C-alpha cells in the first residue's frame, strides 16, 4: 500500500519515547504517522508488578501529564520523597522540600507507562502501522519510508525512536561513540525487614552501584550493577543466598532482605550518537543516547528530547520554515545533544570514579558527597538535577 498523503512527521518506534513524541506532536496539530511492530500492552489489573520499573523525574511526569498519559494506575506508580546516596562513610540526603515539588520523582512500571503512552498516541495520530521500517530515502523536499509490509509513507520529517539499535541511524551513516561497561544490572523486587518508607536509596560500591527504589507494600526494587563475570553466579544463587548477598552489599539499610522475586539482568553500555540529526531525520531517546542507569536518567532524557522536538517544530511552523530542513533540525541538535551528552558524560565519570577505575578519584568523590551534603546551594543544585531541571527545559515539561 502506498500513500499519496504527505505527513508532517513519521515516528518510527513506539516505545515510551516514540509514543510520547507522536502523541505530543499530534496534540500540537501536526499530522503524524506512528510505526511500531510490537504495540505495548498493559498487564492485567491484578497482575504483579513487572520486574522493569524506572525512576521518572517531576519534569518528565509534567510532560507525560500534559499529553494526557498521567496518572498511571496506583498499583503501577509510586512517589518517592527522599533520596539517600552513600559511599563508604559519607552520605548525601535530600527531600522534596528542598526542590518545592510534590515528590522527588516516581518509580513506575515501564510496561504500564509504555502502554498508556501508546494508547494516547494511537487515539491522536492519523495512522498507526504495525510493521518495521525496511528502507528510507531522504530527499530535498520529503522523506519516503518503506515498511516491511509493503506500505510506503511520505513525510517532511522522520523521527527515529527505535531504541539503542536504530536502522535509520545506521542507514544515515551516523556513528556512535560506545563503551561497554562490562557490567550487568541485576533487577528484582525485594521485601526487607523494615518497610521502605518512600526513599530512593543508592550505595556506591567497588564494581558498581546498588539501588533500592521504593515500590508497593514497603518493598524495594533492586538495581544492582555487578561486573559481568560475577553476574551469572549471583543469578544462580538460591533465594536465601541471594537475599543474604544483597543484605551484605546494602549494609543493612531497611534491615535484612527477606525475599526476592525472580532476577533479571541487563547488559550496560554508554552509547552516544555523534549527531542527532541529518536532513529530514532526527534521533530521539536511546537511539541518540544510552546511559548507565545509576542516575535513573535514560528514559527521562528521551522524554525531554520528545518535548524539545515539539518546541522546535512549533517554532519552525510559526516561522513558516521547513520541518525537516537541516536548519530546523540543527537547532534541535545543538539543544538536546549538548544537554544529553553533558548528562551522559557526568554519569560516566561518576561510574568510573565510584567504580574504582580512577583510583583516588573515588575517595575524593566519596568525600565530595559529604561536602555536598553540608553545602545548601550545592545540595539544591543536585536535587534540582535529579528532578529533571537540567539544561534548557522544554515548554511541556516546565513548572
Ligand atoms: C537496568 C536499567 C534500569 C533503568 N532505569 C532507568 C530509570 O530509573 N530511569 C530512566 O529514565 N531510565 C532508566 N533506564 C533506561 C530506559 O529503560 C531507556 O532509556 C528507555 O526505556 C528507552 O526508551 P526508548 O523509547 O528510547 O527505546 P525502546 O524502549 O527500546 O523502544 C524502541 C521501540 O522501537 C521499536 N523499533 C525498533 N526498531 C524498529 C524499526 N526498524 N521499525 C519500527 N519500530 C522499531 C521497538 O519495537 C521498540 O518498541 C534503565 C535502563 C536499564 C537497562
How confident is the model over 80-93, as pLDDT tens digits?
Answer: 999 998 888 888 88
Q: Is the preceding omega at residue 71 within 30 degrees of 0, hence cis?
A: yes
| Nearest CA residue ID for atom 29, ligand 1 | 15
The answer to whether the CB of 352 falls within 8 A of the CB of 344 is: no
Compare 377 and 131 and report the one with higher pLDDT: 131
Q: In the structure, what pLDDT confidence band is assigned to residue 108 with cuts at 50, 70 and 90? A: very high
Q: Looking at 16-25, 90-99, 205-214, which range is the least confident one?
A: 90-99
| Nearest CA residue ID for atom 35, ligand 1 | 13
> From ligand 1's centre to the CA of 378, what distance in Å?
31
pLDDT, the chain, mean: 93
Of the candidates 1, 4, 358, 12, which has an alpha carbon nearest to the alpha carbon of residue 170?
12
Burial call 288-300: b when 16+ CB within 10 Å, e when fewer: bbbbbbbbbbbbb
Q: Which set of grid coordinates corresponds to residue 50?
A: 513487572
DSSP string, 25-83: HHHTT--EEEE-SS---PPPTTSPPPS-EEEE-HHHHHHHHHTT--PPPGGGEEEE-EE
The answer to whether the CB of 66 falls within 8 A of the CB of 102 is: no
Is the pLDDT at 55 greater than 80, yes or no? yes
Is the pLDDT at 388 greater than 80, yes or no? no
Q: Which set of grid coordinates corresponds to residue 239?
A: 533465594
Cα–Cα dist 147/134, whole Å? 5
Q: Is 223 in the pocket of ligand 1 (CB under 6 A)?
A: yes
Mean pLDDT of the region 259-280: 97
Q: Is 53 in the pocket of ligand 1 (CB under 6 A)?
A: no
Distances from the Cα of 114 to the Cα of 14, 111, 221, 244, angstroms: 8, 5, 19, 34
Test site for ligand 1: of 286, 292, 347, most ligand atoms within 8 A of the Cβ = 286
Q: Is 306 in the pocket of ligand 1 (CB under 6 A)?
A: no
Amino acid at each position: 500500500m502506498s500513500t499519496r498523503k504527505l505527513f508532517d512527521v513519521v515516528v518510527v518506534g513506539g516505545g515510551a519515547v516514540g509514543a510520547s513524541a507522536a502523541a505530543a506532536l499530534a496534540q500540537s496539530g501536526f499530522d503524524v504517522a506512528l510505526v511500531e511492530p510490537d504495540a505495548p500492552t498493559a498487564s492485567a489489573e491484578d497482575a504483579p508488578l513487572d520486574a522493569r520499573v524506572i525512576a521518572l523525574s517531576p519534569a518528565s511526569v509534567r510532560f507525560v501529564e500534559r499529553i494526557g498519559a498521567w496518572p498511571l494506575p496506583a498499583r503501577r506508580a509510586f512517589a518517592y520523597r527522599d533520596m539517600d546516596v552513600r559511599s563508604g562513610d559519607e552520605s548525601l540526603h535530600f527531600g522534596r522540600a528542598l526542590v518545592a515539588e510534590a515528590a522527588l520523582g516516581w518509580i513506575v512500571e515501564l510496561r504500564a507507562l509504555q502502554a498508556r503512552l501508546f494508547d494516547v498516541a494511537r487515539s491522536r495520530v492519523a495512522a498507526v502501522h504495525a510493521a518495521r521500517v525496511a528502507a528510507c530515502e531522504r530527499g530535498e523536499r520529503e522523506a519516503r519510508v518503506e515498511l516491511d509490509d509493503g506500505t510506503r509513507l511520505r513525510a517532511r520529517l522522520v523521527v527515529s525512536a527505535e531504541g539503542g539499535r536504530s536502522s535509520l541511524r545506521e542507514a544515515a551513516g551516523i556513528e556512535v561513540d560506545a563503551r561497554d561497561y562490562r557490567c550487568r544490572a541485576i533487577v528484582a523486587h525485594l521485601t526487607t525487614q523494615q518497610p521502605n518508607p518512600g526513599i530512593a536509596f543508592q550505595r556506591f560500591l567497588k564494581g558498581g552501584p546498588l539501588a533500592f527504589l521504593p515500590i508497593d507494600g514497603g518493598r524495594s526494587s533492586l538495581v544492582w550493577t555487578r561486573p559481568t563475570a560475577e553476574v551469572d553466579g549471583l543469578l544462580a544463587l538460591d533465594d536465601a543466598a541471594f537475599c543474604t548477598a544483597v543484605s551484605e552489599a546494602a549494609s543493612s539499610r531497611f534491615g535484612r532482605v527477606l525475599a526476592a522475586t525472580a532476577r533479571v539482568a541487563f547488559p550496560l553500555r554508554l552509547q552516544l550518537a555523534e549527531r542527532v540529526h541529518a536532513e529530514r531525520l532526527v534521533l530521539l531517546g536511546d537511539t541518540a543516547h544510552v546511559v548507565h542507569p545509576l542516575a535513573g536518567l535514560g528514559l527521562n532524557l528521551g522524554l525531554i528530547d520528545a518535548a524539545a522536538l515539539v518546541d522546535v517544530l512549533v517554532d519552525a511552523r510559526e516561522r513558516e520554515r521547513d520541518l525537516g530542513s537541516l536548519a530546523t533540525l540543527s537547532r534541535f541538535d545543538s539543544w538536546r545533544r549538548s544537554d544529553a551528552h553533558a548528562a551522559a558524560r557526568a554519569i560516566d565519570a561518576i561510574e568510573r570514579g565510584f567504580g574504582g577505575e580512577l583510583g583516588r578519584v573515588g575517595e575524593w568523590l566519596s568525600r565530595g558527597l559529604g561536602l555536598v551534603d553540608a553545602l545548601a546551594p550545592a545540595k539544591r543544585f543536585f536535587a534540582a538535577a535529579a528532578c529533571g531541571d537540567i539544561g534548557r527545559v522544554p515548554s511541556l515539561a516546565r513548572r
